[in-house]
Each structure stands twice: as C-alpha cells, then as structure tokens.
Structure 1
C-alpha cells in the first residue's frame, strides 16, 4: 500500500509528487504548498486574492487492496471543517466548490464541522455548499451536533446530498458497487460502527466517512477500508514535537495526512476553514481541499 501526493499552487503550475511505500501504521510526511492565486478571479475583482482566501489543493493516489477493478481510477474530492462564519472567507468556500466542480470527481465527501458555535451561519452553510455537481455524501461533526444537526441534515438533503449518521449506502458505479459508510461523530459519542456496518458488503470498494480520526481504531481490522476524516485542522498551530504530544494526550494520535492503521487506511484532511481561534492561528498547516485517485491492488500483492 502506498500513497503519492502532489501539491498544486495553481492550475497552471506543475505539481511535485511525493511517494511513500512503507507498510504498517505510520504517517506519511508530505510537502504542502499554500495555493496563491495570482491574477483576476471571477469571485473577487482584486488582482491578488487576500491571504484568507487561499487554500491548498492536494492530489493523492490511494492504492487500495481488494477494491473492485472497475473502480481503478475513481476520483474523490474531500472537504472538511469548513466552519462557516468563523473567520472563514466566503470567497474561499465558493472557490473551493468551483475547484471541485472543475475537476469533475466521481464522488464528493464532506466530513463535518460546517459551523462553529453560533446558529447564525446555518443558512449560509447550505447556500455556500449548494453548488456541487457530483454526488455528495455528508457526515456531521461535533460542532454541528452542538449547534443544530437536524437543520444541517435537512438542509443538505434538500440539496439532494446523502447524509449518513451510522448508515451506509451501496452505490453502483462503473458496473460495480461502491459502499459508502458514514459513521456519526465520535467526539460527541454518537459513533456506532456496528450499526453502520450491519448489512453492508464485507469486501470490495468500501469507503468510510467520519469526522473524528480515532474512529479508525474501531473499524474491522484488515478490512482494506479507507477512512476520510477531519476535525484536527492538521494541528492548527504546529510546533514540532509539542503539537503531536498535545494531540496524543488528548486522544488524537492522527493529526494530518495519510496513515495505515490495522490493515485499513486513513486520511486526515486539514480542513478548509480556520475554525476556533480565527485566521491568524494556523502555523505549519493550510486550509485544504483534497483529491484522491483510487488504484486497484490485488490483495495477494499487498500482503507480499
């Protein structure tokens, strides 16, 4: 199993790839470049976008043992922790939606925390995230439950998005089923892995959405599952050694990027929004929109 990653600073710049081939539980260390959009933008007339409108576009290749051959090359877009109304630029959100649509992924995953503390931005969440043109699957985060999970669920469902709270859906794609499993938020103790997996296929292409990364420790081991999460903001303000120690003490050993955990894979998105603390408390992390290309790997090859 391996993951390659390339960071793009704009659509016109060449991306550099970083690959990692080590098996077992680990985090791949990846190079990240802030997206700096230079020149006119249809959503802001300024010649240069403001700093708070910047975000990264990550390109990842996930090698998934045992997934259906038909899904080789399947494209996924992943956004998390948008935190509308908490120092997150509306221009950034609109540009992120536009970037996703321009790349025409097969699936779009949203993994929670669309608001922060106040219910005031709730209508804006639905407005700003209404434009995706690919099928969208949604799970909720801890802040969503603290504010108004019911409003968000019904709002997303009105858009035609699929909201999963300890549920799964089997979606036919390219002549084979994709199983999307949405586990509710573990931070607020609403996660129920057993209920989510009940009746779901036990093999094939199985993709897990859940807000809190540590839920990966509760997944069936050696399942060749891929979990997409957020919550951590990539560490938000990273000080080498200190940030990781603080997160581990808080029960968050998975901070950013790609991990192998007990025969499954995990990707922790750094989040599109700034979240609690405002725009100037990110250090060593960047607002992120992640893209994935899935590659089929024979199970026997992965075990060799």
Structure 2
C-alpha cells in the first residue's frame, strides 16, 4: 500500500460537522455555510474549555468573490460570540485584484485575530498584504509564534508560512514555543500538517484546496492524492494531531468562477478538553 493510499484509506478520517447555510434573504451569490465543529484536544488549558475559534480562509478578494459574502462573514463573527478569529491565507488571487480591499473588508473584525499568508499572497504582494492585515489589527505570523492570553490563560498561536510557494519552516515556527498547554497551528497548505511534531494534540487549521472546488466524493480525493495533496476538506486525525481543511469563502460569482459540491465555508470550532 502506498503512502497516499494509506492516508486516504485510514488516517484521513473526515468528520461530519453540523453545517448551517447562511443565505441573504433574497438569495444571491454571496451565500455560504457555517460548519460548527467540536474538537477535543489533549493539554487544553481548563480555562479554554468551550473556547470558540472562527476560521476564514481563501477569500480571493476581487472579481471572483462577492464583497457581500466577506462583509457578511465578518459581521457574523461578533454575532456568533467567538473568542478568536484565524485567517489562513489567499486573500487575493493575482496582481490585478484590488489589494487595498483586503484591509477595507477585514477592518470590521474587532475580536483578537491571527493570520498566515497563502501561495497567491506570496505570488502577488506579500509585504503589502501583510501591512494591510496588520493595519486591520490582525497579527500576521510567518514561521513564528505568539502567546496571547484569553480567559486569563495563555494560548499559543503558531503560524507556519506557505508551503506551496516554498516559504514554510516548521522548525523555526516551533523554536522556543511552549511545548504544552493550549496550542493552535495555522498553515495555509494542508500538507504542512505532515511535518508537525507527532502526538502533540495540536489543532492545525488550513485552507488552500477550496474543498476540491468541483467535488465528487472519492474521485476528488484520488486526484488530490495523486498531486501529493491528500487532505481536501474537513477533519483529519493525523499522527496524534488534528487537521481541519476549510473550503474557503472565495470564488463563486456567476459563471466566471464556480463551485460544485464545495460550497463556501466559515468554520467555527468549539475547543474541548480531551478526556482519556
């Protein structure tokens, strides 16, 4: 059995989260789904039992993504009462996109927020996009970590830079970081999860795949596995850690860019302490 067959056949266990579709009253192309996922983690600080983390990914701001979808997702964050927001890359697609809109659309986030860059960000204007995110009060992590206090207890956020564009450095990200307690890993490219320290009870949040964009169960997984990207969507239990691949909010305006079987997604995680 090859490594990819093993991954697809055993370790890549897709979860079935509670999914709620959020639709504009009159319909429209900016609807998306909220996936609600409970995750039990070893080593989670007791103060973080029930902590709620929202993930936005692959916004691809520009002609292929309705601004209204992103605006509504940002507004939903406070309505949902989440404690922390993470953004996992690809805020634009190419240099022709309105790069200044990244800061404008995300400035409405008034909850502690952390981000990593994606491959399209690196191929476009990484320094400019990082600056825009930081001006929106979003902490950008590139192969580094930070410790923030939530509910009076420390939570370590580790941000691994994008692997697709060759910028990932897991060793540098974890260097000097706490080795216990509540820890959250951000990585745009899902395959990064294979390089994380084993059996640490880490939750790694990623995006990149758009859930397959055009998804046919069984076939899409095989195609991605053949491209050395076996993690397509949802939850995977890997080497003593948990990976979740968000389908992203971007793409899907009219007939220019579309999704089939892979609706846009915002995911909300409720963290639980693992009870052996």
Question: Do both proteins adopt the same fold according to a TM-score greater than 0.5, normalized to the shorter chain?
Answer: yes
How much is the aligned-residue C-alpha RMSD, in angstroms?
A: 1.9
The partner residue of 1:231 within 201, 208, 216 is 208
DSSP-derived class of the 2:21 partner: coil
How far apart in 1 are the matches of 2:13 and 2:58?
21
How far apart in 2 are the matches of 1:182 and 1:33?
27
Structure 2 contact 233–244 (Cα < 8 Å) conserved: yes
The partner residue of 1:178 within 155, 162, 175 is 155
Aligned match of 2:3? none
84-93 or 268-277: bigger deviation: 268-277
How far apart in 1 are the matches of 2:73 and 2:52?
16
DSSP-derived class of the 2:11 partner: coil
Aligned match of 1:161? 138
The partner residue of 1:65 within 42, 62, 69 is 42
Aligned match of 1:88? 65
How far apart in 2 are the matches of 1:238 and 1:155?
33
Structure 2 contact 155–181 (Cα < 8 Å) conserved: yes
The answer on 1:49 being equivalent to 2:27 is yes
DSSP-derived class of the 2:64 partner: coil
Q: Deviations over 1:85-136 (max 9, x none)?
A: 1411011110110111211211100000000022431001111111011011
Q: CA deviation at 1:202?
A: 0.4
DSSP-derived class of the 1:99 partner: helix
Structure 1 contact 116–276 (Cα < 8 Å) conserved: no
**Structure 1, unaligned runs of 5 or more:** 1-23, 40-47
The answer on 1:208 being equivalent to 2:185 is yes
Q: Deviations over 1:225-253 (max 9, x none)?
A: 10000000001101233211110011111
**Structure 2, unaligned runs of 5 or more:** 1-9
Structure 2 contact 14–234 (Cα < 8 Å) conserved: yes
Structure 1 contact 34–286 (Cα < 8 Å) conserved: no
Aligned match of 1:8? none
Structure 2 contact 32–266 (Cα < 8 Å) conserved: yes
Aligned match of 1:3? none
Aligned match of 2:218? 241
1:261-300 to structure 2, matched below 5 A, reads 261-274=238-251, 281-298=258-275
Structure 1 contact 259–267 (Cα < 8 Å) conserved: yes
Q: CA deviation at 1:35?
A: 2.2
The TM-score, its normalising length taken from structure 2, stands at 0.92
The answer on 1:217 being equivalent to 2:194 is yes
Structure 2 contact 247–263 (Cα < 8 Å) conserved: yes
Q: CA deviation at 1:187?
A: 0.4
The partner residue of 1:35 within 15, 21, 34 is 21
Structure 1 contact 116–275 (Cα < 8 Å) conserved: no
The TM-score, its normalising length taken from structure 1, stands at 0.83
Change in Cα spacing, 1:65 to 1:276, as seen in structure 2 (3 Å) is farther
